[in-house]
Structure 1
Amino acid sequence: MSSADLRVIPLHALFKGSRWRVEAMRSYSVDQLIWFTRGQGRLTVGGLTRGYGAHNAVYIPAGTMHSFELTANVFGTAVFMAPDHDLPFPDHPCHLRIRDAADQAELTLILDNLQREVEGDHPARLRAAGYHAGLLTVWLERQMLNHEDALAEKTAARRLARRYSDMVEQRFHLHESVSDYAAQLGVTPTHLTRVCKESCGRTASDFLADRKIAEAQRLLADTRMPIKKIAEGLGFASAAYFTRAFQTRAGNTPMNFRKSSNIKAQNGTVKVS
């Protein structure tokens, strides 16, 4: 583990100059834990939308589709683990509302110690950071055993929404419709849409389109890939159709979005892949 692998980032730094990076439907290639200490909003993880508030801890495994509202009134910390870590984090997302003051203080202390070691220059700091990250897994495991308000798949509808979310994450770049996804899941498009609407407040087609546009935003902001290639890579029939779809959902053309993102990047936006 190196200091560049494990990152501890204040929440406000995640959307500095570029709010779409957290509000867009996307996934990261690393496990993350978010600790909200002030403010409130809504988050969508694995096809399920819930409200969050102060003293909420949310764990999101790598490759899990998610998005969350983040305003200037929301404070907290995000931890992004190393891609190759071998720590025993859960293999499914969870959302914990931590009401006990001692448990809140314990997590805050772990995160403070972890950040100090990652960003500091003390001897053996990387080994120490690994130990503190290990304590983070212990804290999370204990809280999951003691709380029933995790993002559990307690109903058939939630399980279907999660399966659809996982499938979209794996296949959103292909030229497949909601009907194609529904057929693979063994349900009708109408049923899939109804389940998505109940679980995350958006239709199945909106869910799929949001993921495609979020990936387009990432590619436009973080790469020099030609717009035509981006459109082809995301399964759009033509660059013109991609431009219309992008402008409808992002409120800007792909070219103008790229120019704007390049300007904002110069102001120090934090990137997490």
Structure 2
Amino acid sequence: MLLNFFDGLLRYHFLQNALLTAVVIGIVAGMIGCFIILRSLSLMGDAISHAVLPGVALSFILGLHFFVGAVVFGLLASVIITFIKENSTLKGDTAIGITFSSFLALGVILIGLANSSTDLFHILFGNILAVQDSDKWMTLFISALVLLAVIIFFKELLISSFDPIFAQSIGLNVTFYHYLLMILLTLVAVTAMQSVGTILIVAMLITPAATAYLYANSLKVMLLLAGAVGALSSVLGLFLGYTFNIAAGSSIVLTAASIFLLSFLLSPKQNWIKK
């Protein structure tokens, strides 16, 4: 089975595209996921990943690249959620629930108007084996931008994630870095849509980062571990999907979940076996 997979990598360009794209998305999603779980914004990742659906549908209708509409609607969702949270007595999860469900419903209606059920299936569940060269290069470009932003603003994101009150007291614009993170999250969600679909994006954002959290004692180590787990999950998941002819996106997510389960049982912070 392993030899067949390597043989396919040497012979088929679509499999090469799929592997490179999946690994890059696994790395960048895992790293952004670290900031998401440290800020207790896991539901925000879920909301934005689903909020891009109407943007994708509208792009199909208007003949635009899906990336344009997805980014616009993802950012719009984050602005609406933050506005409701900061200007009412409602809690953040309530604002997320209202926005997430409304955008998802709008997306389903727009997809119906676009008469594109096949595209809807690929959007919801991903199709990593159908990644084209243009999509691969766009994924690499966006991922490089996201990683560059993390490197440049690492210290600010670190402080505002762990202690926003202290960050504000030393003059950091906490709101700016919140929206910067939302922009990065939206970009990652849009790129990951090709591999695992909008339904499973949140799993690639959260699961590798949660696995890394069980081992790491610093944010830098956590980021590196999350990226490594995301990349490993992508490789193993793609191998399983290609070898057994099953959905590669779902295989990637289940592989990441399996690694988390093993870590939950064996990691020093948990060590359920010893207990």
TM-score normalised by length of structure 2: 0.29
Which one has the bigger strand percentage? 1
* Alignment TM-score, normalising by the size of structure 1: 0.29
